Amino acid sequence: MNQITSVNNPLIIETAKLKIKKYRDRQKAFLVEGYHLVEESFRLGLLTKVFALKADDLEMFSCPGYLVNEAIIAKLSTTKSPQPIIGVVAMPKTENTRFKRILLLDRLQDPGNLGTLIRSAAALGMDAIIASSDTVDCYNEKVIRSTQGALFRIPILYRDLTKEIGKLKEKGFTIYGTGLKGGIKPKPVEKQDRYALVLGNEAQGVSPEINQLVDRILMIPMQNGVESLNVGVAGGILMYCLNQDQ
């Protein structure tokens, strides 16, 4: 265990840069706050460093640990009321060769919605998430908090969706889109079938370019005059309906 007392320590300065997306991408690492996320990342072998206010909190981790003060925790944290422990986590390595159930996200902007969908996708049996390059960063601190560790449980890739859908179609995937009218009710897919579900931007929906590539449109029947659902809620319902027999 090492002790650091200055917010100007080079390691603290470098670590604090992980709050910036371009630096996270360069270092292939991100920050997590709180006991649950730090412990979860450690169990999965992704925790590379840990900073804590109490020496006892560092003892369970085999990676480098640093005893720090509240000023340093505040510098590393992104919240007004920082947690007493912060970890540096390596981005999980992902490959997209054997997936059968894929969630495709087109230009999602709200961190809360992305976090909800990541958590739901992991819980409801999806194999991977592929997001457009202009979707909000999955390592955004608000996304990380809302996933409650599910971020570590499912591969997340950022790609050109048009090209990815083309590749998926070549592999025999059925591409499902969503709509408010003219769609079919979602029903369980066969276990051997491969599919991808596309969800779009909160305000604009799925882009016309992506919509042209969809094989089938799914519609959630609604009552009591409700015309639409939040994308996080709708995505959870659709994933459950498609996967409920798995």
Reported pTM: 0.92
User: Which residues of the chain are in CATH 3.40.1280.10 domains?
Assistant: 101-243
Q: Is the pLDDT of residue 238 over 90?
A: yes
**Shortest CA distance to 48 belongs to which of 17, 96, 88?**
88
Q: Is the pLDDT of residue 31 over 80?
A: yes
d(CA 73, CA 51): 8
User: Which residues of the chain are in CATH 3.30.1330.30 domains?
Assistant: 2-90
Q: What is the pLDDT of residues 33-82, one digit of tens each?
A: 999 999 999 999 999 999 999 999 999 999 999 999 999 999 999 999 99
How many Å separate Cα 171 from the centre of its chain?
A: 25
pLDDT at 121: 98
**Mean residue pLDDT across the chain:** 94
Percent of the chain with pLDDT over 90: 87
Which are the contacts of 27, defined by CB distance < 8 A and separation ≥ 6?
18
More confident residue, 98 or 104: 104
Protein fold of 101-243: Alpha/beta knot (3.40.1280)
Q: Is the pLDDT of residue 198 over 90?
A: yes
3-state SS, residue 229? coil
pLDDT confidence of 246, banded at 50, 70, 90?
low
Q: Mean pLDDT throughout 138-165? A: 95
pLDDT confidence of 190, banded at 50, 70, 90?
confident
Which are the contacts of 167, defined by CB distance < 8 A and separation ≥ 6?
none
Q: What is the pLDDT of residues 120-138, one digit of tens each?
A: 999 999 999 999 999 999 9
pLDDT at 120: 98
pLDDT at 183: 80
pLDDT at 143: 97
**Number of C-alpha atoms within 13 angstroms, CB side, residue 50?**
31
Q: Mean pLDDT throughout 157-185? A: 91
**Shortest CA distance to 198 belongs to which of 220, 179, 181?**
179
Which CATH number applies to 2-90? 3.30.1330.30
pLDDT at 97: 65
